[in-house]
Amino acid sequence: MAFKWNTWYFPAALGLLGVFCLTALILSLVGIHKVTLPARNKYGLVFDAGSSHTSLFVYQWPTDKENNTGVVSQTFSCHVNASGISSFANNPAEAGVSLQKCLDEAMTVIPLERQRETPAYLGATAGMRLLRMENETASARVLEEVGKTIQKYPVSFRGARIITGEDEGAYGWITINYLLDSFTEYSAKDQDWIHPPSANILGALDLGGASTQISFMPSGHIADQSKAARFRLYGFDYAIYTHSYLCYGQNQALQQAIRVILNLTTSATANHPCYPVGYNDSVMTEALYDSPCAQRPSTPAASRNVTLVGTGNANLCRETFKKIFNFSGCSHDGSCGFNGVYQPPVNGKFLAFSAYYYTFHFLNLTETQPLDTVEDAVQAFCKRTWDELMLSYPTEKKSRLKDYCASANYILTLLLNGYGFSNVTWRNIAFRMQAANSDIGWTLGYMLNLTNMIPAEAPRPLRGHEEGEWAAAIFFIAAALALCLVLLLLSALR
């Protein structure tokens, strides 16, 4: 039987081609989105080994969005139920043992098939810096023991090390601005990654137990380049000022204040203006100098027991803290923080975290408020007696409750007299401990840097219909080839 080529086969072929073309057009307009299972996550693990305690943080990110922006998030945190690892100088093995419970819990969070590829880091801060100054061998043994413990777990251990104070400050700055999308954001209008205004870049204020860090972008040139940290992130260059003051963390500052008080008397009792009325504490003078932060008198007196008597005087408390700083001797045209250290004038908005946050959170002062309001609240708190405080805060640890007046006044002295904030710039400080459901601190920035999760260059622009266009093109070519094949077969059968 002969085919009737001119009757219906050719129109049918043209109709088929039309269907293919229409399908290709629709695909090019709406795009094809692959239906797949949700992407599995990768994980990273960082220990923050501080002077007073150690914390473990686990981060996660989608495997198909590495080197992108805003995709790393905190999925787990654990606080080690022990003092900082530097306290184990005489028993280093126990420093490793102290980490086991948090590691055990982390292994229940990270999927089994992802554990061996999970990078694990331990960064030690000011407490271990002080121990290294005092006993380098002991600090090395502590790091060795914590490393041995971590290596017993099925993770990719990348080392336990003491980080510098400047790195601690810079990584905290990276963490804050990464979590708040300050480095880059995707513009749907421009269909490209854009650089947010520099005003969106936040400064970082970190207050630990043994050190404190300040990091920010100055409005002008950084005169002392030894205080500059430079980064190229997402295609943009940043030069920030950062400095760490060892021995000016909260715990060390409180000890310095007691030494100032005791240096003024040889009596068996001494008034402590930062302690509440009705609170007394006994200290051995020798123990107060058992730290590299303490400068022993040239002719030390015999150790004696002194009773500190609380007087609850906020003004005298502030004056006592001012004496632990040196506000003179600046050789940088008057542009200094304290102790003769160069610092440009503070610029922009800041996030204050760690001990800044914990103290002001307790005093209900974390909301941005005028400085006068904050100072009045601190004054009122310091006037409360020890009995009143224990009655109002029955669940608060006494060791912390007695120090909130002192901590608040130290923070005010550090920020106002030390760093140079004023009545006006005080409103630029926000006290926070979390952003984008992650804890603020140096650990996220540390991991992002060591795993190269923030690329030097900007991510490739996204294109909303890219996948649909490719699918449409392939579909159209296949349709054309199929039609040609049909026509050849029909021609051969005529």
Structure tokens belonging to residue 141: 């043994």
Distance (Å, rounded) from C-alpha 392 to C-alpha 86? Answer: 34
Axis crossing angle, helix 371-382 with helix 314-322, rounded to the nearest 10 = 110
Q: How many CB atoms lie within 10 A of CB 470?
A: 14
Structure tokens belonging to residue 129: 């810096």
> Residue 397 in 3-state DSSP?
coil
Scan for tokens 């920010």, then name that residue: 216
> Residue 422 in 3-state DSSP?
coil
φ, ψ for residue 363, nearest 5 deg:
-85, 5
- Angle at CA 41, nearest 5°, toward 37 and 45? 165
Pick the catalytic residue: 166, 168, 396, 457?
168
> Residue 207 in 3-state DSSP?
strand
Distance (Å, rounded) from C-alpha 311 to C-alpha 287? Answer: 23
- Is the CB of residue 180 less than 8 Å from the CB of residue 204? no
| Residue/partner pairs of 281-286 with CB below 8 Å, 24 or more apart | 281/307, 281/308, 281/402, 282/306, 282/307, 282/308, 283/258, 283/308
| Closest by CA position to 170, among listed 123, 206, 200 | 206
- Give the containing element (helix H, strand E) for 193: strand 192-194
- Give the containing element (helix H, strand E) for 284: strand 280-284
String of DSSP letters for 83-133? --GGGGTT-HHHHHHTTHHHHHHHHHHS-HHHHTT-EEEEEE-HHHHHHHH
- Is the CB of residue 40 less than 8 Å from the CB of residue 115? no
Structure tokens belonging to residue 363: 């005093």
Side-chain half-sphere of 374: how many Cα atoms within 13 Å?
A: 25
Distance (Å, rounded) from C-alpha 131 to C-alpha 140? Answer: 10
Q: How many CB atoms lie within 10 A of CB 374?
A: 19
- Angle at CA 204, nearest 5°, toward 200 and 207? 160
Structure tokens belonging to residue 95: 């420093």
> Residue 304 in 3-state DSSP?
coil
Please, is 144 exposed, middle or buried when counting C-beta atoms within 10 Å of its C-beta (0-12, 13-18, 19+)? middle
Active site residue 168: yes
- Catalogue the active-site residues: 168
